[in-house]
Amino acid sequence: MGLFRLILLGLVIWLLFRLYQRFIKGRSSQKQETRQIDGDMVRCKHCGIHIPESEAIKKDNDYYCSQAHLEDDTR
């Protein structure tokens, strides 16, 4: 009977270890990925959203988040 208990104890420990690994892996995959923004943030003149300056459309001294907002503002 002693060998059977030892094998059963080993199996229980192995299962607990596997469950722990899944729990840790699940938590790390749920974290939101953040991206690093290089440069300054600017405000769209039309809607007010802030976007990276490198992605903005600039006309004169104003910034726009999209071509549509640039066109809407120039009408």
| b/e sequence 38-64, b meaning 16+ C-beta within 10 Å | eeeebebbbeeeebeeeebeeeeebbb
Distance (Å, whole) CA 10 – CA 32? 36
Measured in degrees and rounded to the nearest 5, phi and psi for residue 59 equal -135, 125
More confident residue, 21 or 1: 21
pLDDT in tens, 32-66: 566 677 789 999 999 999 999 999 999 999 999 99
Q: Locate the domains of the chain by residue range.
A: 41-74
Token pair belonging to 17: 């270890």
Q: Indicate the pTM of the whole model.
A: 0.52
